[in-house]
Chains A and B, each alone.
Chain A
Amino acid sequence: QVQLVESGGDLVKPGGSLRLSCAASGFTFSDCYLTWIRQAPGKGLEWISYISSTGSTIYYADSVKGRFTISRDNAKNSLYLQMNSLRAEDTAVYYCAIRSKNAGIFDYWGQGTLVTVSS
């Protein structure tokens, strides 16, 4: 079955960097559109980034544009999120998710990894 497993979450100081990974299995990874979505403590869900199956199309939410970089390695069935210039407001559980081919619907999600930005 479809499995998405995030890793890399940690405690980091403001201004620091972190790289999240998402390991995928149970489906044809190279065919899928992928996204990162986060949930800050006590808040709702926020979509933050998208990458197409080949990596040719990438989108970011305004809140992370210029600081975060999404990438993928189809040979390794892995999705990544490089996070730089981290701020306290980036503290959240980060989920990777498969986006539907036809619309901005998220068909499958991982269980998330916690990123805490604090001095």
Chain B
Amino acid sequence: EVVMTQSPATLSVSPGERATLSCRASQSVSIDLAWYQHKPGQAPRLLIYNAATRATGIPARFSGSGSGTEFTLTISSLQSEDFAVYYCQHYNNWPPGTFGQGTKVEIK
């Protein structure tokens, strides 16, 4: 099973600043990588798929990059509504696909 490792576990950022989240796969997953945003008590939301393609309705301040084993989610200028937990997920040879443990983006 491919293990997805996210870092850091918690990221403290001021509104308007840039946030960079990392996700590493234990073996290559090509570009079969998605990012989700999850706020407490709400449904998780698909942000990015195919490592770099924004899902429908996702603002341009969210961008994804990477391939193989190293991936990055960048939020260019954090808005108040962006404070949440972010998960990466690979879907190479799905199922099962696996999720990372998440990065919590909190207000500094």
The 0/1 profile, CB within 8 Å of A marked 1, for residues 8-51 of chain B is 00000000000000000000000010101000011111100110
A-B contact count (CB 8 A): 59
- Minimum CB distance partner of B87 in chain A: A45
Chain B residues within 8 Å of A107, by CB:
46, 55
Asked if A47 meets B43 with Cβ closer than 8 Å, knowing A103-B91, A105-B49, the reply is no
Contact of A46 among B34, B41, B50, B99 (CB under 8 A): B99
Interface size class of B (residues with CB under 8 A): 20 to 34
Q: Are B97 and A104 in contact (CB under 8 A)?
A: yes
- Residue B64 is within 8 A (CB to CB) of chain A in the complex: no
Is chain A's binding surface mostly helix, strand, loop or mixed? strand
Interface size class of A (residues with CB under 8 A): 20 to 34
The distance in angstroms between the C-alpha atoms of A36 and B105, with both chains bound, is 26
In chain B, positions 55-100 with a C-beta closer than 8 Å to chain A are 55, 87, 89, 91, 94-100
- Residue B101 is within 8 A (CB to CB) of chain A in the complex: yes
The distance in angstroms between the C-alpha atoms of A50 and B95, with both chains bound, is 9
Chain B residues within 8 Å of A80, by CB:
none
Chain A residues within 8 Å of B32, by CB:
103-104
Q: Which 10 A-B pairs have the closest CB atoms?
A: A104-B94, A104-B91, A109-B43, A45-B99, A44-B101, A104-B97, A109-B44, A105-B49, A111-B43, A59-B95
18 inter-chain pairs at a CB distance below 8 angstroms, sorted by A residue, are: A44-B99, A44-B100, A44-B102, A45-B87, A45-B89, A50-B95, A61-B96, A95-B44, A103-B49, A103-B91, A103-B94, A104-B94, A105-B34, A105-B46, A105-B49, A106-B36, A106-B89, A109-B43
